[in-house]
A and B are shown apart, each in its own frame.
Chain A
Amino acid sequence: MKNIAAAVLLALACQTAQAETEFHASNEFSITQNDTAGPGRSASSLTKGLNYLEVLNLYGSGTRGAWDYSYSAGAKATDDERADAKTVSLTNLQGRATNKVHTLTVGDVFESFSQYALATSLKGGSYRYYKEGTRLPEVTGVFGWAYPRWDSVWKDPLTRTVNRQAAGLRVKENFNGDLWAGLSAVGAKDTGRLTAVDALYDAKNYTFDFGYIPMPGLTAAGEYSASDSELSSSAGAAGASSRGSAARLELVGDADPSRVSLEYENVEPDFYSALGSASPDRRKFKAKWRYKYTKRVTLTSGLLWYRNNLDGQLAGTTRNWKPELSAAIKKPFASRPYSFADLSYKFDRKYGSGSSGADHYLNANYRDRFGELDSDTNLGYTLYKTKTDVRDAKEVNFNTSLNSRHEAGSVVLKPSVNLGTWYSRDELADTADKLYEYSLGLALEAPGANLTSDLRLGSNMLRKETGDDSDKFFASLSAYWRPKLMAQLNDSTIYLRAGFNDYSFSTANRNFREKSVTLGLNTAF
C-alpha cells in the first residue's frame, strides 16, 4: 500500500515536471579513498577502501490556470555503510499546489502546528484552507506516517521502524493582527512492533496556542496541551493509560535599550506527545535581560530554574538553578579601535535525589588586532563540585589564535596559528590530566581563478597521571575550484579534501592511522 502511495507521489512529481515554468537541479558526486593501518585500526570510524557518495536534488515550480505548484525530489546513493545503511535512498519528495485559498501538499509534509502538538515531519499529505481578507479561520489537516526517512515507508529491513501513523487538524484564527489563537487535535498510533520490547503508543493531544502583541515591542505567546495516551504491554513491561497536560507562557519585551524575556513551563509527568517536543516532568521558570548599557557595553543576565517529580511519585526531587551574567564590551581600551572583550560567569546548581552539585563556569574572551594580526584569546575556568563525590574537579582551558591576511598579486594568503591547553585536576582521584594542542593553517584564495584552499596541521597531546596517554597528529587539506563550465551550469564546484590522522597511545597495540582523500563535483543549474 505504501509502495503504491510512494509511486503515486513520484508520478505526481514527474507529471508536474513536464509543465514546469522553473526548474533547478543540484548534484554532488564524490569518491573517497580511506585507509586505516596499525594494530588499533578497528577503533577508526572510517570505512576502509574506495567509496562513493551521490546526492541529487530537483526543484521546480510553475502555474497552471489558477493554480501555482512546486515540487522537489532528492535521492542519495552511497556504498559506505557508515554514511548510510542503504545503498540508494530517497531523501526528499514533495509536491505542493495552491490557488491562494486551498493548498495541497503531498510527500514530505512538515506542518509544525505548535511545540507540544506537532513538531515533526510526516510522510503523507496535508490540506490548508486560508482565505485572506475574510473572518474565516485558517484550517489545516494533515495525515501521514512519522517515519524518519523514506526507506522506512516501504519497510526496508535495514531502516525499518515502528509504524507511527498520524493525523491532525488545526484551526487558527487571526483576530485583529494583534491576537491570534489556534486549536489543534493530533493523534498518533503505533503498530508493527519490531522487537518484543518495543513500546507502542496510541496517543492523542489537544492543544490551544496563542500569540498576542499588547503594545509595540511586547509580545506574549503561550500554549496549553492535554494528552491522552495508552502504552500497550510489551515483553517485560505492563501497559498503561495516562493523561497529562503541558503549558508554557512566554513574554518578550524588545526595544532599545532592553530585551527582556520571561518564560514559564509546566509539563506534567504523564504528559506524552508522540509528535511534538517536550521534556516531561518539568516545571521551569526562566528570565533573561539584555541591556545595552552604553553604545559600547551590553550586559546580559539570566536565571533558569527547573525541577522534576511534579506528582511526588519519585523517591526524590531534583532541582536546578542556572543563573548567568555576562558583559560584552566594544573597545574596552579606547586606544585600541578593534578591541572587544566578553566576560561571563555561569553557575549550575543541581540537588536532590541523592545528588548535589554546584558548578561554576568563568570565561573571558578578548579579541583585538595588532598590526597585521587578528587575535582571539579565550581563558576559561570551571569548578565542578559535588557533595556526593561524583565529580570534584578544577579545569582550566586556554586557547589563542592569531590570523592575518596578505595580498600577493591576485592571491590572498591567510596564515593562522592556534595554541591551546586544558588542565584538569580531579580531586576525587587525586590526579591531574593535561591536554596540549597546536595547529598551523594556511588558507589561500585566488578570486580571479575561483579557487580557495585551506591547509591545516597540528597535534593534540593528552597526558594522564593514570591511564593511557595519547597523541593525535593531524593534517588536512581542502581545495574548492569553481570553474567556468557550460553557461547552464552556473554554480559548479570541484573539490578535494584530504586528511591524515595518526593516533598513538601508551598502550602501543591501540595505535592506528587514518588516511582519507575525497574528490568531488558539485553542479547546479
Chain B
Amino acid sequence: MKKILIIAAAILISAGAADAKWWIFGKSGGEVGLKYLYVNKISVDETGPRIKVFKETLGSEGLIKITGKASVGKGAVGSVRISLDDKATWTDVKFAENGTFEHAFKPEQGKTYLMLVEVTDTAGKTNKPEETRKELSLSDENIQAKVRETLDALFAAYNREDLPRFLANVGENFAGDKAILDRAVKRDFDALSAINLRYTLNNVAAGAQGRIFVSVTYNRMVLVNKTGATSTDSGATEFVFDMNEGKLSLYSMKQPLMFGLSDSEVATGVVLGGGEGLVINDSGDISTGLVVTNSYTNPDQSFGYNIETEAFEDCDATAPNCAGHLMFMPGVPYIAADDIPTSAFIGLIAGKTVSTATQADAQAAAVNQQTTLSAGSTYGLKYGADYYAVEVTSLSGSGGGPYSITIKTKAF
C-alpha cells in the first residue's frame, strides 16, 4: 500500500510541476483560460453543449452555481465576467487572488440561459469565451420522470438486445466497470432471447452530490437459447444514477442483477433480502435463478417429482418406490421430501413465490420431512447439499384422484 501511495504522490507532484503542453493535451499553461469550470458541481468538460438542471438538485435555495478558476499563466487575473444571455449583457464576477470565482443565480422555469465566461489578464489578454459556451436550463421534468425515462431507455434497449443504445445510458465511471458490463451484456444477448423485463418504481432519492438512488420492483421473462427453456422471476433491486447535462447515466447496480447476468462482478452490493436473481454461467446457460414450470396429471393421488431431471412420475405412496425427490399426496394432503438415497428436508416458505424466495428462505424452511400441501404455497427443499424453491401454482382433483398439478421450481 505504501508503494502505491508513493507512486501516486510522485505522479501528482510531477504532473503538477510539468508544463501543460504535455503531448496528449491541447492546452498551454501560458494561455489565458479556465483551469476548471463547474455548473452545480458538474464539470463542463464532461458535458455537451446543453446542461439541464433539475429542481430537486438545486438545493433548497433554488440557485444554479457557476464555479471556476481563471488561469492566466505568468500574469495576474484582471477580470472575470459571465454572460447568461449570449453576450448581450455581462456581469463582473468577484474572484479570489488565485483566480477562483463563483456566480449564482436563480433560474426561471422554461427559460434558456446562454452562458459564456470571459477571463482577462492584467495585460488585457482574454480567453476565447466561445469555448465556454453552454446552454443552461431548468428542467420542467421532476426527477421521478427523468428516472423513469432513463429506466425505460435501459429496459427497452435490453429487451431489444440493442447493446449500443443500452451502453449509451451507462456512465463512464460505472462502479462495476463499464468494460466488464459491456461484455457481460453482450454475453446475455447471446444467451437469451424474447427478453421481457418490466419494472415499477419503489423509491427515488436525489442527493446533493448529483446522484440519484432508485429502488424498483422488477418482473422478468426470458427464453434461454441454449436449452429453449423459459424462466420468469420477480423481486426488488437498486440502482444509483449519475446526473450529467440533464441526462442520467447508470453508476452502480446491486444484486439481484437486471443487466449483465453473465458476470456477477458488475454488481457492487446486494439488496437486503434480495437474493442472487438470475445468473448466466460460463456455458451460456442459467445456473441460478432459473424458474422451471412443469404440469402433470396423475391417475391417482400419489406421485413424485425428480428435482434434478425436472420430470414427474407416477409411483406408490411410499418414497422408496418413487425415484422422485418430492412426494405428492394431495388426497391427504401432504408434500414430502424423499430422503432416499440422500437426506432431504422440506418446509413452507410463507408469503413468497418461487421468484422471490431466496436460498436463505429455503434453508430456513427446509427442516421437516413433510408438510401440508396446498395450491399457491411455496416450499423450501434441501436435497443433499443443494437447495430449491418449489411453488405449487395449481392443483385440482379430489379423493383418490386423478390429480392435475403445475409447479414452478428454482435451484439455488
Q: A: which residues have CB within 8 A of B?
A: 24, 26, 39-40, 42-45, 53, 55, 57, 59, 61, 67-70, 72, 74, 76, 78, 82-85, 89, 91-92, 94, 96-98, 100, 103, 108-112, 115, 119-121, 128, 132, 146-150, 152, 157-162, 164, 176-178, 194-198, 212-220, 222, 235-236, 245, 247, 249, 251, 253-258, 260-261, 264, 266, 276-279, 282, 284, 286, 289, 302, 304, 322, 324, 346, 348, 355, 357, 359, 361, 365, 382, 384, 386, 390-391, 393, 395, 397, 422, 424, 426, 433, 435, 460, 462, 464, 467-470, 472, 491, 501, 503, 505, 509-510, 524
Q: Is the CB of B213 within 8 A of A361?
A: no
Indicate the member of A85, A220, A276, A435 with the most B CB atoms within 10 Å: A85
- Would you call B122 an interface residue if the criterion is a C-beta within 8 Å of the partner chain's C-beta atoms? no
Given the known inter-chain contacts A110-B211, A149-B215, please indicate yes or no for A162 contacting B273, CB distance below 8 A: yes
Q: Is the CB of A361 within 8 A of B232?
A: no
Given the known inter-chain contacts A365-B164, A460-B194, please indicate yes or no for A111 contacting B232, CB distance below 8 A: no
Given the known inter-chain contacts A196-B364, A391-B282, please indicate yes or no for A264 contacting B4, CB distance below 8 A: yes
- A–B Cβ pairs within 8 angstroms, 30 of them: A26-B144, A43-B230, A76-B202, A98-B60, A120-B213, A121-B207, A148-B215, A149-B203, A158-B351, A159-B236, A177-B99, A194-B273, A196-B364, A197-B363, A215-B15, A215-B20, A216-B33, A216-B71, A219-B43, A251-B11, A254-B46, A258-B25, A277-B269, A278-B175, A282-B265, A286-B177, A355-B282, A422-B190, A469-B228, A503-B194
> A79 to B282, alpha carbons, bound, how many Å?
38
Chain A residues lying within 8 Å of B274, measured Cβ to Cβ, are 148
> A397 to B274, alpha carbons, bound, how many Å?
34
- Would you call B200 an interface residue if the criterion is a C-beta within 8 Å of the partner chain's C-beta atoms? yes
Interface of A is mostly: strand
Given the known inter-chain contacts A84-B200, A217-B27, A258-B25, please indicate yes or no for A98 contacting B59, CB distance below 8 A: yes
Q: Is the CB of B102 within 8 A of A85?
A: no
Q: A68-B61, A214-B15 are in contact. List 13 more A-B contacts (CB 8 A).
A: A39-B295, A43-B230, A119-B240, A121-B213, A249-B8, A278-B175, A289-B24, A302-B179, A304-B179, A384-B284, A395-B190, A426-B226, A472-B223
Nearest opposing residue in chain B for A320, CB measure? B180
Q: Is the CB of A176 within 8 A of B207?
A: no
What are the interface flags for B160-190 relative to A under an 8 Å C-beta threshold, 1 for contact and 0 otherwise?
0000100000001001110110110010001
Chain A residues lying within 8 Å of B223, measured Cβ to Cβ, are 462, 470, 472
Q: Is the CB of A108 within 8 A of B282?
A: no
Instruction: Kindly provide the distance from the CB of B321 to the nearest chain A CB, expressed in whole angstroms.
Output: 27
Q: Is the CB of B29 within 8 A of A109?
A: no
Contact of B232 among A45, A158, A469 (CB under 8 A): A45
> A68 to B206, alpha carbons, bound, how many Å?
17
> A426 to B198, alpha carbons, bound, how many Å?
31
Chain A residues lying within 8 Å of B221, measured Cβ to Cβ, are 43-45
Q: Is the CB of A121 within 8 A of B203?
A: yes
- Would you call B209 an interface residue if the criterion is a C-beta within 8 Å of the partner chain's C-beta atoms? yes
Chain B residues lying within 8 Å of A218, measured Cβ to Cβ, are 15, 20, 22, 25
Given the known inter-chain contacts A43-B293, A148-B271, A215-B18, please indicate yes or no for A177 contacting B200, CB distance below 8 A: no
> A365 to B165, alpha carbons, bound, how many Å?
13
Q: Is the CB of A435 within 8 A of B225?
A: yes
Given the known inter-chain contacts A43-B293, A277-B175, please indicate yes or no for A92 contacting B203, CB distance below 8 A: yes
Q: Is the CB of A74 within 8 A of B144?
A: yes
What are the interface flags for B271-300 relative to A under an 8 Å C-beta threshold, 1 for contact and 0 otherwise?
111100000001110000000010100000
Contact of B225 among A255, A260, A391, A424 (CB under 8 A): A424
Instruction: Kindly provide the distance from the CB of B170 to the nearest chain A CB, expressed in whole angstroms.
Output: 14
Q: Is the CB of A24 within 8 A of B211?
A: no
> A339 to B45, alpha carbons, bound, how many Å?
28
Counting from the closest, the 8 A-B pairs by CB-CB distance are A195-B364, A110-B207, A277-B268, A121-B213, A214-B16, A108-B205, A468-B228, A45-B221
> A432 to B45, alpha carbons, bound, how many Å?
48
Instruction: Kindly provide the distance from the CB of A286 to the nearest chain B CB, expressed in whole angstroms.
Output: 7
Given the known inter-chain contacts A59-B55, A85-B217, A176-B98, please indicate yes or no for A216 contacting B272, CB distance below 8 A: no
Nearest opposing residue in chain A for B69, CB measure? A177
Instruction: Kindly provide the distance from the CB of A225 to the nearest chain B CB, expressed in whole angstroms.
Output: 12
Q: Is the CB of B228 within 8 A of A197?
A: no
Chain B residues lying within 8 Å of A92, measured Cβ to Cβ, are 144, 203-205
- Would you call B112 an interface residue if the criterion is a C-beta within 8 Å of the partner chain's C-beta atoms? no
- Would you call B88 an interface residue if the criterion is a C-beta within 8 Å of the partner chain's C-beta atoms? no
Instruction: Kindly provide the distance from the CB of B235 to the nearest chain A CB, expressed in whole angstroms.
Output: 9
Chain A residues lying within 8 Å of B61, measured Cβ to Cβ, are 68, 98, 100
- Would you call B79 an interface residue if the criterion is a C-beta within 8 Å of the partner chain's C-beta atoms? no
Chain A residues lying within 8 Å of B272, measured Cβ to Cβ, are 146-148, 152, 161-162, 164
Q: Is the CB of B176 within 8 A of A279?
A: yes
Contact of A279 among B182, B205, B238, B268 (CB under 8 A): B268
Chain A residues lying within 8 Å of B351, measured Cβ to Cβ, are 157-158
Q: Is the CB of A217 within 8 A of B295?
A: no
Q: Is the CB of B207 within 8 A of A111?
A: yes
Instruction: Kindly provide the distance from the CB of A230 to the nearest chain B CB, expressed in whole angstroms.
Output: 18
Given the known inter-chain contacts A42-B406, A150-B203, A198-B360, please indicate yes or no for A278 contacting B268, CB distance below 8 A: yes
